[in-house]
């Protein structure tokens, strides 16, 4: 069996509540079909707390399946702004490290 590479899922356009079902469906498909997923948000034009919750839920689902979902750096500006405004990047926030890339993780484009 060949070693599976990291699957990159590129989120584009509005990733907020208006598109929550589409974003969730894309993430679910990626989690069901790939062990390791890296999410690229560079071309996201809108994000909100729904985006944050959907990404955290997908990461939990991947972990439950013995996989991993990570974020590519740098995060798209709308997602970065949402994380800052809602306190998700605060050092004492439970999921703060999820939004930062690992040192061995490739950078986005």
pLDDT tens per residue across span 46-57: 999 999 999 999
pLDDT of residue 107: 43
Tokens matching residue 5: 């590479």
Q: Is residue 84 part of a domain?
A: yes
Domain count across the chain: 1
How many residues can be counted in the chain?
Answer: 109
Range of the domain at 68: 7-99
Q: Is residue 107 part of a domain?
A: no
Q: Is residue 2 part of a domain?
A: no
86: left (phi over 0), alpha (psi -120 to 50) or beta: alpha
How far, in Å, are 3, 4, 5, 85, 93 from residue 37 at the CA level?
14, 11, 9, 26, 23
Q: How would residue 100 be classed by pLDDT, with cut points 50, 70 and 90?
A: confident
Q: Is residue 105 part of a domain?
A: no
Q: Is residue 104 part of a domain?
A: no
CATH of the domain at 59: 3.30.750.24
pTM assigned to the model = 0.88
pLDDT tens per residue across span 64-84: 999 999 999 999 999 999 999
pLDDT tens per residue across span 38-47: 999 999 999 9
Whole-number mean pLDDT of the chain? Answer: 90
């Amino acid at each position: 069996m060949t070693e599976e590479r990291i699957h990159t899922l590129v989120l584009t356009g509005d990733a907020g509540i208006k598109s929550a079902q589409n974003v969730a469906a894309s993430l679910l498909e990626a989690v069901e079909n790939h062990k390791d997923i890296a999410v690229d948000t560079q071309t996201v034009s809108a994000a909100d707390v729904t985006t944050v919750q959907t990404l955290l839920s997908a990461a939990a689902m991947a972990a439950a399946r013995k996989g991993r979902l990570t974020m590519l750096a740098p995060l798209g500006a709308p997602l970065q702004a949402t994380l800052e405004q809602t306190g998700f990047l605060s050092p004492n926030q439970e999921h703060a490290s999820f939004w930062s890339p690992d040192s061995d993780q490739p950078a986005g484009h």
